[in-house]
Amino acid sequence: MGQQQSFVIIGNGITGVTAAEILRAEDAACSITIVADDPFPAYYRPALKDYLGGRLPEEKLWVRPATFYEEQRIRFLPGRIVGINASQSFAQLQNGKRIGYDSLLLANGARPRSLSCPGLNLGVSTLRTVADYQEILRRLEHVNRVVVCGSGTLALESAETLRHRGYQVTHLLRGNTLWSEVLDPVASDMVLQEERRDGIDVRTGEEISEIVGKNGQVSSVITTRGERIPCELALIAIGIEPLIDFIRASGIACGRGVKVDQGMRTSVPNIYAAGDVIETTDEFTGRTRVLGQWLYYARPAQPVASILPPFNGRNQLWL
């Protein structure tokens, strides 16, 4: 096959791990390095709601067994990438270390959006990582009332899960409908009515404007309508933002996410991107947006690889 190829993958989620797995299947000799700042191995993000609900133990979250990296001869490097030098083909870690590559795959994902309001340090959690859910489960031991803020399926599922566990739940939606990109007002109303029948206090056209408490503990939230809702925990699920700060600064074209062509190529040669770090065309609306749907990136949907030499023209990596 000639000179050994060096592949670097930024991100240890389903996209990065699947890419590494297929690369190894194609080339037993190539060098594969995964760099990620999440301390946990790849996990099933959609299963986190079941972990929250007590229906799934933590050890069942992992996408691959603990021996995966060693068996596949994949080097896992904990750390945060802060820059890419495309002209010299290396990525730079926060600690100053450089990692050279022949081909680079950006699969570093997204971060949860947060609110811009006072009190975010008072026991407020986002719903994104295993660490988030571990912290939520720890706090739930001392909680009776929870406020969930968000208009998507994650907020809905979290509110339902916590209600089924016996907590008093208030669900705040900024707009008047749930998952407005997909559900029309009639369908949304049917789902919200089901929430209410389950005992959830659903409030539309309302979100958190201030979080009140002391000593790191929420005591209530104040909504945009000026109402005070007593609670001991506030959960924020208002969408995601692709992690593109260092990518944009490296000269790679970005909009809301990394811009790619049909082959998942970025604007810079030998650098590719996939997963929820990219912007894509919504299958339902035809608009350019960041989808952030885990299964969208886990199923055969987007070709990532005739992209990665030396497999150009021979194979496809589907994520």
The 10s digit of each residue's pLDDT in 285-318 is 677 777 655 444 443 334 444 445 544 433 344 3
What the block records as the tokens of 213 is 């408490």
Reported confidence tier of residue 246, pLDDT bands at 50, 70, 90: very high
What's the CA gap between 216 and 231, in Å, rounded? 13
**CA distance from start to end of the chain:** 25
What the block records as the tokens of 25 is 């299947």
Write the pLDDT tens digit of every residue in 82-112. Answer: 999 999 999 999 999 999 999 999 999 999 9
CATH number of the structural domain 114-236:
3.50.50.60
CB 250 within 8 A of CB 258: no
Would you identify the CATH topology of the domain 6-111+240-298? FAD/NAD(P)-binding domain (3.50.50)
Write the pLDDT tens digit of every residue in 175-225. Answer: 999 998 889 999 999 999 999 999 999 999 999 999 999 998 999 999 999
Q: What mean pLDDT is predicted for residues 23-34? A: 93
Q: What mean pLDDT is predicted for residues 277-281? A: 86
Q: Which residue has the tokens 């994949």?
A: 74
What's the CA gap between 72 and 76, in Å, rounded? 11
- Tell me the domain boundaries of the chain: 6-111+240-298, 114-236
Q: Which residue has the tokens 């997909």?
A: 182
Least confident of 33-37, 76-80, 197-201, 283-287: 283-287
Average pLDDT, the chain: 90
* Per-residue model confidence (pLDDT) at position 123: 80
* Per-residue model confidence (pLDDT) at position 2: 59
Q: Do domains 6-111+240-298 and 114-236 have the same CATH topology?
A: yes
Write the pLDDT tens digit of every residue in 5-26. Answer: 999 999 999 899 999 999 998 8
* Per-residue model confidence (pLDDT) at position 82: 98
CB 226 within 8 A of CB 206: no
Which helix or strand (DSSP H or E) is residue 156 part of? Answer: helix 153-164
Q: What's the predicted TM-score (pTM) here?
A: 0.89
